[in-house]
A and B are shown apart, each in its own frame.
Chain A
Amino acid sequence: MSNIQIEKLFNLHRLPEGIALIPIILYFPLGFVLAVVRFFIGLQTLLISCILPRFSPLRSFVLRVMCAVLGFIVIVDEHKRRDEKAKVIVTNHVSAFDHFTTALIYPSVLPSICELYPFLEWILGWRDFGFKQNKESFLNNIKGFCSNSNIPLLVQPEGTTTSGRYGLLKFCTWPFSLDFPLQPMTLHVSRPQIFQIAVTTLNSRWWEDLFWCLFVPVTWFTIRCLPVMEKPKSVSAEEFSEDVRQKVAADLQLITTDFTTADKAELQKKHFHNRFNCLSRPQASAAEQEDSLLKVDPEMQKMISQVKDVLPNATVKDIAQDLAQTKDVDRTITNILEKDVKNEAATSQSADTTSSNHTSPNASSSCVTPDNVYKAKSFSKSGEERQKSLEERKRQMLATARQRYISKHSFN
């Protein structure tokens, strides 16, 4: 299982290469107009979804028709397996619209995981269960909701989207510790053969996904219900989640992988950096590059100010130079700190050799400015050295304060 490459789980590029690109280019003018028109129809749809009562069959029907116009066609498979008693629906995650499309058929509530305006949450059908406070109250809120309400809860335990063509990410376990019967569903997204445009890519935003959905004539969302599963008392939440995951994977003919959301985030970061590097490499000289980065790129400026905030002694030029190479705030901070430590070691060594009888005890770790500021020259990576520097500064402050007090009050 370890030899699976994580890249395979995601679409790295939205558009295909080679011959498959030709129909898309030919279709582009039409598709673009279609997308614009559909965008306005989409606004109407949103309005309708606000006006019609939530969770009513009428609303589902109207929205389903409207969404068909927008190119979202939702197909349900094995509908008879749907059991109203199953209060938790578990699905895989293949696009940003999973909840939306599922809710067209099976009105449901998605526990919101980030701070949103209540109004926006209401439109999206999300609900705040106190996710940010702590795990227990969150689970209690959810349990309370499940036992009181008729509306099922939709959970996407993968936590983030995949291409849905190769494998499943690891599931998080909290939905499986709820002790309610739960209904796994599988989602599958497809588009006409001639338009091989990926629904989501590794780094895509939801509005990009939306544009391409409006652009292609149709996108089919197939929802298939799997038999309801209930957690046996003897099985732990992890084992149960694994069990459900196997069922979902088997139905979609995918493999289960050991990757988690964190791995995806790591990959995203890596790819983002690669792209950034490719963009900035063609520039001629380093100075020019730095200059242009400083002037052109507001993000770069933000990063520089971020570093500057932590390391007020470093010059903007140094920071910019380092950032141009690393594209990473914390790496730059580490680099600059390391450089400082090296320089310091060099200077203190030379000071030792030239005037060994004149070295002050505090030369290496700290410096005192006249106005009672005791700061370390560098923020060492090793905790031991930081501790040493802290002790040193404390000793120094006490000594200076004592001396000052004595001279001021002329103690003997």
Chain B
Amino acid sequence: MDEIIKTIIDIFFSLSLSLSLKDARALPFLQENFGGIDIFQDFFFFFSLSLSLSLVKLTLNPPEGIIAGPVSEENFFEWEALIMGPEGTCFEGGVFPARLMFPPDYPLSPPKMKFNSEIFHPNIYVDGRVCISILHAPGDDPMGYETSAERWSPVQSVEKILLSVVSMLAEPNDESAANVDAAKTWREDRQRFNDIARRTVEKSLGL
């Protein structure tokens, strides 16, 4: 019963929130085609709101070293984020800008994330795309190392994605490498990896 009440409150809350934030891309579509069916609308809104909710939470109560928000007012489905390199790691002190691209059917499909600056890291492709399990839908598994439990699901939030990226920076996973060169360096020549990381950090700070 508690669950139900909570869900209902969530639905109402997010409904009005997503409307006020122009996040309801689905609204005209719904009214046109399923105008009569309220449960469906609630269901859809419950998810469509999660982007707006994420924004409010990230704006007012962001986790350490993370800033995120839409690139512009008009496009709610493209966000930019600044991520600080976690302390006590080779990326300490760096500030890395990244883009988050949300697909139209978010949160059913995961967003894509791409670092704007070059980062030499086993789990980041050379062009900046981030390769972590939370950004992969349960269906596709390019590396075959991930359990479906750590995959994308509609209940994951933007905050969780960003936190996973921070922990990825702290602890590279060289088993499913996106940048083979970086993974090799990380495994075999840690000193060189740290040097490159330090240069990346300095570059990200414009030094």
Contacts and interface: CB of A to CB of B under 8 A. Distances in A.
Interface stretch (B11-19, B125-133, B134-142, B178-186): B11-19
Given A113-B39, A310-B56, A394-B67, A405 B33 contact: no
A405 B20 contact: no
B39 A174 contact: no
Interface string B43-76: 1000000000100110111111101011011000
A401 B35 contact: no
Interface stretch (A20-28, A62-70, A298-306): A298-306
B138 to A, nearest CB: 15
B73 A383 contact: yes
B40 to A, nearest CB: 5
A159 B38 contact: yes
B57 A310 contact: yes
B73 A384 contact: yes
Interface string A110-137: 0001110000000000000001101100
Interface stretch (B156-164, B189-197, B199-207): B199-207
Contacts of B69: 386-387, 390
A330 B40 contact: no
Most buried by A among B13, B22, B67: B67
A372 B87 CA distance: 10
Contacts, number: 145
A108 B40 CA distance: 21
B62 A313 contact: no
Contacts of A265: 38
Question: Which range contains the number of B residues in contact with the other chain?
Answer: 35 or more
Given A174-B33, A375-B61, A405 B84 contact: no
Contacts of B36: 156-160, 169-172, 260-261
B73 A376 contact: no
A406 B69 CA distance: 28
B5 interface: yes
Contact of B93 (A114, A135, A384, A401): A401
A381 interface: yes
Contacts of B62: 373-375
A312 interface: yes
Nearest to A158: B36
B84 A386 contact: no
Interface residues of A, number: 62
A114 B40 contact: yes
Interface in A128-180: 131-132, 134-135, 156-160, 169-174
Given A398-B95, A411-B207, A170 B16 contact: no
B59 A302 contact: no
A405 B93 CA distance: 6
A255 interface: no
B25 to A, nearest CB: 14
B56 A374 contact: no
A298 B35 CA distance: 33
Interface string A283-296: 00000000000000
A6 interface: no
Given A299-B5, A381-B20, A402-B207, A376 B59 contact: yes
Most buried by B among A171, A299, A333, A402: A402
B64 A373 contact: yes
Most buried by A among B22, B73, B206: B73
B149 interface: no
A410 to B, nearest CB: 12
A333 B59 CA distance: 14
B94 interface: yes
B188 interface: no
A397 B37 contact: no
A379 interface: yes
B31 interface: yes
B84 A114 contact: no
15 contacts: A114-B40, A159-B37, A261-B35, A299-B9, A306-B13, A312-B61, A330-B20, A333-B17, A375-B61, A379-B56, A379-B59, A387-B73, A402-B205, A404-B93, A406-B207
Interface of B: 2, 5-6, 9-10, 12-13, 16-17, 20, 22, 29, 31-41, 43, 53, 56-57, 59-65, 67, 69-70, 72-73, 82, 84, 93-95, 105, 201-202, 205-207
Given A135-B33, A174-B34, 4 more contacts: A306-B9, A312-B60, A313-B60, A386-B59
